[in-house]
Structure 1
Amino acid sequence: MSFSVLRTSFRRAAVPPAAARTSKAFRSPAFRKYSTEVPKPEGAGKSNAALFAGLGLAVVGGVGFWIYSSDSNKAKEAGTAVRSGVQSAKAAANFTPTKEDYQKVYDRIVEILDEASDADYDDGSYGPVVLRLAWHASGTYDKDTNTGGSNYATMRFEPEALHGANAGLNVARTLMEKVKKEFPWISYGDLWTLGGVCAIQELGGPKIPWRPGRIDGFQEQCTPDGRLPDATQGAQHLRNIFYRMGFNDREIVALSGAHALGRCHTDRSGFDGPWTFSPITVSNEYFRLLFDEKWVWRKWNGPKQLQDAKSKTLMMLPTDYVLVQDKSFRKFAEQYARDQDLWFKDFANSVSRLFELGVPTSQWVSSEQWIMKSSDEN
C-alpha cells in the first residue's frame, strides 16, 4: 500500500506516543499563504518543462549515459559542464524556469519521499534523510572565507561525500538523482535544498521560504572535513560550528529542533535510535522530551549517548543534551518546549537562511522568496 493514501492532517495538535509509533507519517495542511509570484519572462507559457526536457537531451545520450552511469568525479564534473551548456542555451533563448516548474519538482519529490513506505525504509518516509542532505550541503559555509554552503553542491564529489558526518547520505543523493534525471535543468543545490523544504512541509512542519539560483560547482570547490557538528562534543563546539555560519544562540537551538525527525544508525554515525516517538512528524516534541523525560547514559558498546530512563527506546546525543545544560541555550529550548508556534516561526526563518548560505545575491532568480505548495494544498 502506498504511504501517500494514509495522510492525515493535524498540524498544530500534539502527537500521542501510541500514534507516533506507527510507520505511517501524518500530514498536515498548510496554514499560511504566500501571494508573491515570480514574474514570468515575456512570451513564456505556463510552463517550460517540455522545453527543458528537450534541452536536457544533451545529457541522456552518448556522453550523457557515461555521466549518469558513472560515480567518478570526472564524470560528475563533465555532467556539470554539459548542464552549464544547457543553462547557457536557455539563457540565450530567454527561457527561464517558472515557479510552476519548480513546483512540479517539489511534487515529484513528495512522491519519492512516500516510496519509503513500500521499501520498508526506517519509519516510513525518506523525509528525514533528504532533509539531512539539504542540511549538510548547506552547513559547510564559512562566513569569514565565504566558502562552502549550498551553492556548488560539492558533496557530489569525493572526498566531501566521504566525510564522516555525511555517512549514509548516499541514500538521499541516489533518491534525488531520480528527480534530477526527470528535471535535468535544475541545479543540484536547488534540488537538494528544495528536497529539504519538501521534507519539512510534508511531515507537518512550517512553510519554509525558498528560492532557486544555486549553480553546480566542481571538485576543487569541495570544503574541508570538520565543518559539520560532531555529536560527541559540547556547547562550545556547537557555537564554533554555528557562529562560523553566522547564527546566534537562539538560532542554534531552533535549528537543533530538526532532530524531531529521523533516527541514528549504527552503520552510519555509530549512534542508535530516534530522538522522539514520532520520528516522521515535525513538532516541538524534541524540546518537550528534553525536559519531561529523565535521561541517563546508555550502557552499550557504542559511542556515548543518552537514553530515556522510562522506555529506553529514545536517545539524545551529547550535543542535544547541552541545550538543557547550557544557560543560554536552555532558555530558548524551554520557550520552544512550551510554544510550538514560536519554534515553527524561528525554525522556518533559520532553515531558510541556512539553505541560502554561500549563494551570491546576484544569482537568485527572484528578489522575493517563494512558498511552495504542499501536497495537501494541491
Structure 2
Amino acid sequence: MGNACSDGCFGMLASKKVSQLRACKQDLKKFIDSKNCHPIMVRLAWHDSGTYDQRIKNFPERGGANGAIRFAGEMNFGANAGLDKAKGFLDEFAKKYPEALSSGRIAACSALYIGAHETLLSCVAVMASSRYGRVAVTSDSECVKSASREGFSGNAGLPDAEPPFGCGAPTAAQHLRNVFTKKMGFTDQEIVALSGAHTIGRAFKERSGACPFGYGEQAASKYTKGDCIVRKDGSKGVGMVGGASWTKNWLTFDNSYFKDYKLSYEDDSLLWFKTDEALHTDPEFKKYFDLYAKDQDAFFKDYAKAHKKLSELGSKFEPEGGIKI
C-alpha cells in the first residue's frame, strides 16, 4: 500500500513537471518572438554548454549544460558579457514555472527558436527530440574553475574570434579544433554546422571589443538600426538596437552565413572574423561549408543533430533518461 502511494505521488509530481515544461515552452516561444531576443537566447544556451570539457569525467567539474552560467563564476567571464540580460528574462520564467529546472530552461531556449521557425521543418526535431530534466548546479562553487580549462581559461572555454588565440594555436582552424574537438568532442562537420548559428548572431563593441559597432541607434550598423526589417515574416522589430551582424537579415535563420559570406568582405557593416574565414579556407572545413552554401536542407538537418548534442554536453539527467514532452 505504501509503495502504491509512493508511486502515485511520484507520478503526480512527474505529471506536474511535464505540464509546467509544456506551458513554459509555449510562453518562451511567444516571449522570444515578441522581444526579438533570439540571438541572445541562443548565445546563452551555447555559452552554458561551452564550458564542457570531455577530458574531465565527473559532474559537475566537466562543465556543460548544467545552468552554471547563471552564477558569477561563469557570468563574469568577458566572453559572457551581456548575458545577464538573458538570465534576467529567464529568471521571470523560473518564478512562474518552478518545476522547470534552471538548466533545462536555458538549454531549451535556443532550440525553441530553431524549432519554432516556420521554414526549419527538418530542425523541428531539435525540440521534438530534446530531453528535459537536466540536473542544475546549485551554487557558484560548482562552476567550472579557470584552472581546469587548460589553455582556454581566458575566454570561458569558448573560441576567440581573432588571434592571438588563448590556446596557443598558430591558425584559426587549429584553434577551432582545439576548442570544439579536443575539448568538447565535435567533428569537423559539426563545427561547421554549429557555426551556422552566426546567421542570427550579433556582436557589440561593449561586449567583445572585436566589433566597431555598439549599443544604440547612433552606434548601430546599417543592418541593426531600429527601423531595419530583418525578420523572415517581414515584421518590424530588432530587439535591442545596435551592434553588427554576420548576415543582413540576422533574425532569419537560413543558410545565408554560408551562401553570402563574400558580402562580408565587401561590406564593413557585416562581421567576418578569422575563425569564420577558416571555415571556407581550411580544406576539411570547406567541404561542409560549400555543401551548406548550396543545400539549405542539409544545413538544417546537420545543425539539428549538432545542436541537440551541444544542448546535452556534460548533462546529468533526473530521471536518468530525461523527460520528453
Q: Give the alignment's TM-score, normalised by structure 2.
A: 0.74
1:148 corresponds to: 63
Which of 26, 30, 47 lines up with 1:107 in the alignment? 26
**1:6-52 CA distance string (max 9 Å, x none):** xxxxxxxxxxxxxxxxxxxxxxxxxxxxxxxxxxx986xxxxxxxxx
Secondary structure of the 1:159 match is helix
Asked if 2 retains the 8 angstrom alpha-carbon contact of 1:231 and 1:317, the reply is: yes
Q: Provide the rounded CA distance (Å) in 2 between the counterparts of 1:253 and 1:348.
A: 13
Contact 1:214–1:364 at 8 Å: present in 2 too?
no
Q: What is the Cα deviation at residue 194 of structure 1?
A: 1.1
**Does structure 2 conserve the Cα–Cα contact (< 8 Å) formed by 1:189 and 1:214?**
yes
Q: Which amino acid aligns with 1:183?
A: Y
1:334 maps to 290
The match for 1:277 among 244, 248, 251 is 248
Q: Which residue of 2 aligns with 1:190?
A: 104
Candidates 219, 231, 236, aligned match of 2:174: 236
Q: CA deviation at 1:160?
A: 1.2
Q: How does 1:170-249 map to 2 (within 5 A)?
A: 170-203=84-117, 204-205=119-120, 206-207=123-124, 208=126, 209-217=129-137, 218-223=139-144, 224=146, 225=153, 226-233=156-163, 234-243=172-181, 244-249=183-188
Cα distance in 2 between the residues matched to 1:170 and 1:260: 22
Aligned-pair Cα RMSD in Å: 2.2
Q: How big is the shift at 1:364?
A: 4.1
Count of aligned pairs: 259
Query: Which region of structure 1 is more displaced relative to structure 2, 328-337 or 220-229?
Result: 220-229
Aligned counterpart, 1:308: 265
Tell me how far apart the structure 2 counterparts of residues 353 and 274 of structure 1 sit (CA, whole Å). Answer: 25
CA deviation after TM superposition for structure 1 residue 137, in Å: 0.4
Q: Which AA in structure 2 matches 1:277? A: K
**Aligned amino acid, residue 132 of structure 2:** P
Matched to 2:186, the amino acid is F
Larger radius of gyration: 1
Q: What pairs with 1:283-294 in structure 2 (closer than 5 Å)?
A: 283-290=254-261, 292-293=262-263
Q: How do 1:154-165 and structure 2 match up within 5 A? A: 154-165=68-79
- Kept in 2: contact 1:212–1:364 (CA 8 A): no
Q: Deviations over 1:219-247 (max 9, x none)?
A: 12212234111111411111011111111
1:324 corresponds to = 280
- Look up the equivalent residue of 2:299 and give its one-letter code: W
Which TM-score applies when normalising by structure 1?
A: 0.64
Q: Distance in 1 between matches of 2:24 and 2:81?
A: 26
Deviates more, 1:246-255 or 1:271-280: 271-280
Question: Comparing 315-324 with 249-258, which one deviates more in the overlay?
Answer: 315-324
> Helix, strand or coil: the match of 2:72?
coil
- CA–CA distance in 1 between the matches of 2:13 and 2:92? 27
Conserved? CA contact 1:138–1:355, under 8 Å = yes
Q: Quote how far apart the aligned CAs of 1:285 are.
A: 0.5
> In 2, Cα distance between the equivalents of 1:255 and 1:363?
28
Q: In structure 2, what residue type is equivalent to 1:213? A: G
User: Does structure 1 retain, via aligned residues, the 8 Å contact 2:135–2:316?
Assistant: no
Tell me by how many angstroms 1:363 deviates. 3.9
Unaligned runs of 5+ in 2: 1-5, 147-152, 164-171, 214-243
